[in-house]
Chain A
């Protein structure tokens, strides 16, 4: 627990970003040296940049990397564009809109050769970025990335007779490993309860419908821009085996790594373990790691001792 009066070094700002001719006021948080390697972090569907708060305060990573986490338009503090009657149509995310937003944001922040990293829909989009914008990034890290992730574009996630706040969160509960600490799993769900109506479902249009690279993996330019496909053992949507298959389909430049004992929201469900895993990936990107990355990274590999299995409920006193 931090000492009373501790002020975290994260700063938050807004950057005006033109996407498809429309001005968007995008909120982002950052920490790290101004001349550090930019590491642009994308949140999961329906969530916001707070998912990255534990990475933004990791002293080892922010010593060398300028970690930047943003809220996509309509998410977190990035309000919808003031020039559009956005309330007259359903919010729907597409691959084109998603990639244009990310590249426009990297341009607006004047990021030089950044590393991109995102999870879930932010992981899947790594394939489109490598296909369409391989020259814009130094490397791409697709967390929980797969060629196809069907079945999660669900009407009940935006329905007037359903408590969508709660359902949007707890339909994701099982995406996390039960071994991850209860406090951070609950915090991840709390963040899911922050989303505006229809935004989670709209993001999942990209995730489960628009994104389908099963027959297009040969278009992905990982030989031009290294692509890391890093999937958690407990991710039932895009499993580590899906990640391996995707990397195999992409071929040169694509590396699949399984993260043991963690799930689909690694950065927020178990930050200590994820940050340790990520350091191995980042060292591979910067050339500071001599050995090839293993097929599976385990807590033992990175010196993290897991707590005993988290109980679903504290044991009552005898």
Chain B
């Protein structure tokens, strides 16, 4: 895939399939990951609905009728770096990126939003779902 495909309908379908077939998502309680999260890429927001550690649905432009616990926001450029097979330092993982944004006040990195307690209760599973964006983007790994 190339970066112009990022977040197209086909891309999200591939992502959903990648998460839902990932062996690690079921390990150590990850199948209890039930909190929805959103991914904001530039001006576009997508709601990822989770159920039992699997992606139930991905919905563009969520509204007041929808619910989520947390999300990740960043420019399209930051996301394009994040999904690279060999991502550059500080945009290679969500906590890394968040730290450079939230603590060091740098631009150009992804930032977590929402309920921090929920984030830490689901950290590994949430982190894994984000890492799997890289797998989906690069056709299943190198």
Contact = CB atoms under 8 A, between A and B. Distances in A.
Interface in B84-112: 85-87, 89-90, 92-97, 99-100, 102-103
A311 B87 CA distance: 11
B61 interface: no
Interface string A125-159: 00000000000000000000000001100001001
Interface string A208-228: 000000000000000000000
Given A178-B87, A313-B141, A316-B140, A234 B92 contact: yes
Contacts of A166: 28, 123-124
Contacts of B131: 312
A179 B124 CA distance: 20
Contacts of A162: 117, 120-121
Contacts of B90: 234, 236
B29 interface: yes
Contacts of B16: none
A174 B140 contact: no
Contacts of B89: 177, 233-234, 236
Contact of B142 (A156, A163, A175, A311): A311
A305 interface: no
A309 B138 CA distance: 12
Summarize B's interface: helix, strand, loop or mixed: helix
Contact of A151 (B92, B103, B140): B103
Contacts of B117: 156, 159, 161-162
B100 A159 contact: no
A163 B121 contact: yes
B116 interface: yes
A91 interface: no
A167 interface: yes
Nearest to A150: B103
Contact of B86 (A174, A178, A313, A314): A178
B140 A173 contact: no
B39 to A, nearest CB: 17
Given A166-B28, A308-B142, A171 B103 contact: no
A233 B88 CA distance: 10
Interface residues of B, number: 37
Interface of A is mostly: loop
B139 interface: yes
A178 B82 CA distance: 11
Contacts of B120: 156, 159, 162, 167
B134 interface: yes
A208 B124 CA distance: 23
Contacts of A156: 116-117, 120
B127 interface: yes
Contact of A309 (B22, B100, B139, B142): B142
Interface in A84-136: none
B50 interface: no
Contacts of B142: 308-311, 315
B7 interface: no
B48 interface: no
Given A170-B127, A312-B132, A163 B116 contact: no
Given A151-B103, A156-B117, A161-B117, A174 B95 contact: yes
A170 B124 contact: yes
Given A159-B120, A167-B124, A311 B141 contact: yes
A311 B139 CA distance: 11
Contacts of B102: 151
A120 to B, nearest CB: 14
B94 A174 contact: yes
Nearest to A236: B96
B41 interface: no
Given A234-B96, A236-B89, 18 more contacts: A150-B103, A156-B117, A159-B117, A162-B120, A163-B29, A166-B28, A166-B123, A170-B123, A170-B127, A173-B93, A174-B92, A174-B97, A177-B92, A236-B99, A312-B131, A312-B134, A315-B141, A316-B140
5 contacts: A174-B97, A236-B90, A237-B99, A308-B142, A312-B131
